[in-house]
């Protein structure tokens, strides 16, 4: 029985990156051998065991091939005669198909180290084409490491898309990989990679539709709506904003993808159109509620936030009400983060200040100081309580705004 460290831990170690988790492969053992050594079996689909002390996962070396049955459409074979090379062959990219033996010697049968030095992603074998999730993983690794995809792998990815492989992806897995891609160092690479292999139009047609759509160059020197969206997304990543903010950055301008041709490059009413498209997208991918709700607010109100200094006090109170800012001030702050990224995500405006955020937060704090309970107690006509509270909040905003002038 031999044990090898494999996969991402080997890759990250060679890159000089921190190694978070280690995966181990055991060659020449049976499940009975593992149990006899104190390993605890977990899972039902293929033999994986937890180390009795470290609790790290150890998997028996295995091969797989596509079939009508078995785990996710694959039949798993894990027998003592499966070699390390066979186990590595089933992996996605050469940079993930390396191993270290117990002495720390690198085992690299498929040229992963050379591809790592070259900054390229290359599929290990034609079996790559049997799992459409690997297209999403390619995009994610491109976003994380800035790697390019070799022409032959990109060709295979395009063939997978044209053959309908991507259509078989389940929504939960798409969202899982999408969320990971959004949280990478340069998330725009995730989406441009998908677009390069024609998968974006299948997975996120609402985002794909933004590319090639013009905007007024006076406000958007980058002109292209898709390019703008990628700049906004990368700004959100640059500022280390949360997943919810990054998803809102990605989807804030969806309505510009179906602006009537006769009014281009203007996008009158894109906010409402964007909300409708976003509802459809979130339902299709089963986007979690926190991400969905913030994205809907940003899609609907980002224009109002940008114009904050032009808004009347009663309009600001209306905005705070519809954003549920009094009960959810932390989400309102996230909305302002997404709007700030929207403003900075324009060519030549990357370092612009965004005073609208402080302006609206100051207005929010002023309304939070209004004692709604006290107003309710003093109100003789209970039916007028909501209006009295609203008026008090409008007056508080007016006072805060005037003191700023």
pLDDT at 247 over 60: yes
**What pLDDT is recorded for position 68?**
46
Q: What is the mean pLDDT of the chain?
A: 92
pLDDT in tens, 350-378: 999 999 999 999 999 999 999 988 988 88
What value does the mean pLDDT take over residues 128-147?
A: 95
Rounded to two decimals, the pTM is 0.91
Residue 75 lies in a domain: yes
78 band by pLDDT with thresholds 50, 70 and 90: low
Torsion sign over Cα 106, 111, 115, 121: negative
pLDDT in tens, 8-26: 999 999 999 998 888 899 9
DSSP letter for 277, please: H
Residue 297 lies in a domain: no
pLDDT in tens, 316-333: 999 999 999 999 999 999
Determine what percent of the chain is predicted with pLDDT higher than 70: 95
Q: Which of 68-72, 97-101, 204-208, 263-267 has the lowest mean pLDDT?
A: 68-72
DSSP letter for 5, please: E
What value does the mean pLDDT take over residues 131-136?
A: 95
Q: How far is CA 382 from CA 56, 69, 165, 317, 373, in A?
A: 63, 66, 62, 21, 12
What value does the mean pLDDT take over residues 216-232?
A: 96
Q: How many domains does the chain divide into?
A: 1
pLDDT in tens, 159-211: 999 999 999 899 999 999 999 999 999 999 999 999 999 999 999 999 999 99
Alpha helices in 217-346 (DSSP H): 225-238, 243-251, 270-285, 289-306, 313-322, 329-344
DSSP letter for 57, please: E
**What pLDDT is recorded for position 80?**
82
Residue 92 lies in a domain: yes
Residue 225 lies in a domain: no
Residue 97 lies in a domain: yes
Residue 23 lies in a domain: yes
pLDDT at 304 over 80: yes
Rounded to 5°, the CA angle 122-128-130 comes to: 160
Residue 33 lies in a domain: yes
Residue 276 lies in a domain: no
pLDDT at 84 over 60: yes
**What pLDDT is recorded for position 31?**
86
CATH of residue 47's domain is 3.30.460.10
**What pLDDT is recorded for position 402?**
79
Determine what percent of the chain is predicted with pLDDT higher than 90: 80
pLDDT at 143 over 90: yes
pLDDT in tens, 33-67: 989 999 988 876 668 898 998 888 898 988 765 55
Domain that holds residue 101: 1-110
**What pLDDT is recorded for position 69?**
41
């Amino acid at each position: 029985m031999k044990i090898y460290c494999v996969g991402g831990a080997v890759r990250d170690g060679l890159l000089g990156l921190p190694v978070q988790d280690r995966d181990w492969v055991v060659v020449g053992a049976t499940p009975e051998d593992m149990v006899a050594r104190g390993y605890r079996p977990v899972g039902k689909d293929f033999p994986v065991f937890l180390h009795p002390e470290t609790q790290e996962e150890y998997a028996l070396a295995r091969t797989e091939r596509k079939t009508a049955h078995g785990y996710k459409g694959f039949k798993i074979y894990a027998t003592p005669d499966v070699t390390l090379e066979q186990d590595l062959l089933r992996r996605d990219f050469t940079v993930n198909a390396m191993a270290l033996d117990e002495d720390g010697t690198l085992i690299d049968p498929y040229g992963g180290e050379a591809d790592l030095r070259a900054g390229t992603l290359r599929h290990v074998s034609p079996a790559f084409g049997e799992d459409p999730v690997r297209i999403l993983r390619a995009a994610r690794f491109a976003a994380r490491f800035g790697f390019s995809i070799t022409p032959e792998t990109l060709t295979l990815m395009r063939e997978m898309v044209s053959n309908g492989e991507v259509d078989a992806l389940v929504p939960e897995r798409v969202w899982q990989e999408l969320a990971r891609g959004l949280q990478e160092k340069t998330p725009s690479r995730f989406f441009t990679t998908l677009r390069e292999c024609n998968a974006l139009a299948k997975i996120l047609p609402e985002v794909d539709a933004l590319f090639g759509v013009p905007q007024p160059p006076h406000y958007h020197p980058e002109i292209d709506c898709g390019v703008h969206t990628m700049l906004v997304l990368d700004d959100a990543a640059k500022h280390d904003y949360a997943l919810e903010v990054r998803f809102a950055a990605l989807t804030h301008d969806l309505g510009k993808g179906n602006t009537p041709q006769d009014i281009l490059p203007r996008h009158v009413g894109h906010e409402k159109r964007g909300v409708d498209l976003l509802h459809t997208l979130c339902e299709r991918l089963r986007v979690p509620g926190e991400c969905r709700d913030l994205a809907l607010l940003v899609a609907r109100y980002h224009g109002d936030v940008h114009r904050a200094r032009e808004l009347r006090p009663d309009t600001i109170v209306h905005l705070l009400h519809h954003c549920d800012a009094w009960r959810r001030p932390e989400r309102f702050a996230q909305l302002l983060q997404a709007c700030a990224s929207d403003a900075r995500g324009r060519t030549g405006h990357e370092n612009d200040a965004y005073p609208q955020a402080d302006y609206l937060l100051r207005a929010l704090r002023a309304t939070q100081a209004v004692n709604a309970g006290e107003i309710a107690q003093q109100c003789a006509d209970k039916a007028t309580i909501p209006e009295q509270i609203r008026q008090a909040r409008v007056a508080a905003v007016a006072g805060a705004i005037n003191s700023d002038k």
